[in-house]
Amino acid sequence: MTALSIGKLSKSTDVKVPTIRFYEQIGLLPEPDRTDSDRRVYGDRDVRRLAFIKHARQLGFTIDGIRTLLALSDQPDRDCDEANRLAQEQLAAVESKIAQLQALRGELWRMVEARCRGAAADCRVIETLADHARCMQDHVEPSPFAR
């Protein structure tokens, strides 16, 4: 068994130390073993679990979704219908985001193509941003938490 400090676990998984602690606090990672001096010690199982969590986050799964997927992973005899459902929901969310981004790209291209060649008072980009009615399509306001 590998005995890693939290810093070495962080480096080996490319997950920041505060994120590892957060995952412990919310129960995605189990409480680690401790040394006599109360330092956290992680093993191979923790490395694999953290890699699983990181990959799931990269794919956009929610914390609750990851919690469900980890529970399924911890009980390999369970039916995987729930995992399939979560993956389908995540795919639908990604498809929706792609459609929104394509619409935004189109609108930005239109704004760039209508560029102004004069004073800011006649700038098509500024006019379009100031008057949403000038847009070719409606677009959803991005979340302030979007990456």
pLDDT digits over 58-112, tens only? 999 999 999 999 999 999 899 999 999 999 999 999 999 999 999 889 888 887 8
84, with CB counted inside 10 A (0-12, 13-18, 19+), is exposed
34 and 16 housed in the same domain: yes
Residue range of the domain that includes 60: 6-74
User: Are the beta carbons of 89 and 96 closer than 8 angstroms?
Assistant: no
Residues sharing a CB contact under 8 Å with residue 119, sequence separation 6 or more, in sequence order:
none
More confident residue, 103 or 50: 50
Of 35, 51, 74, the one marking the end of a domain is: 74
Straight-line distance from the first to the last Cα atom of the chain, in angstroms, rounded to the nearest whole number = 36
The answer to whether residue 145 is domain-embedded is: no
Domain count within the chain: 2
Of 64, 62, 32, nearest in space to 47 by CA: 32
The answer to whether residue 98 is domain-embedded is: yes
More confident residue, 7 or 127: 7
**pLDDT above 70: residue 142:** no
User: Are the beta carbons of 43 and 4 closer than 8 angstroms?
Assistant: yes
List the beta strands (DSSP E) in the chain. 33-34, 40-41
The answer to whether residue 30 is domain-embedded is: yes
**pLDDT above 70: residue 147:** no
Q: How confident is the model at residue 136 (pLDDT cuts 50, 70, 90)?
A: low
64 and 11 housed in the same domain: yes
Structure tokens at 43: 């093993």
User: Are the beta carbons of 47 and 13 closer than 8 angstroms?
Assistant: yes
64 and 25 housed in the same domain: yes
Please give the Cα distance from 11 to 42 (Å, whole number): 13
68 and 13 housed in the same domain: yes
User: Are the beta carbons of 32 and 42 closer than 8 angstroms?
Assistant: yes
Residue 70 sits in a domain whose CATH number is: 1.10.1660.10
pLDDT of residue 140: 53
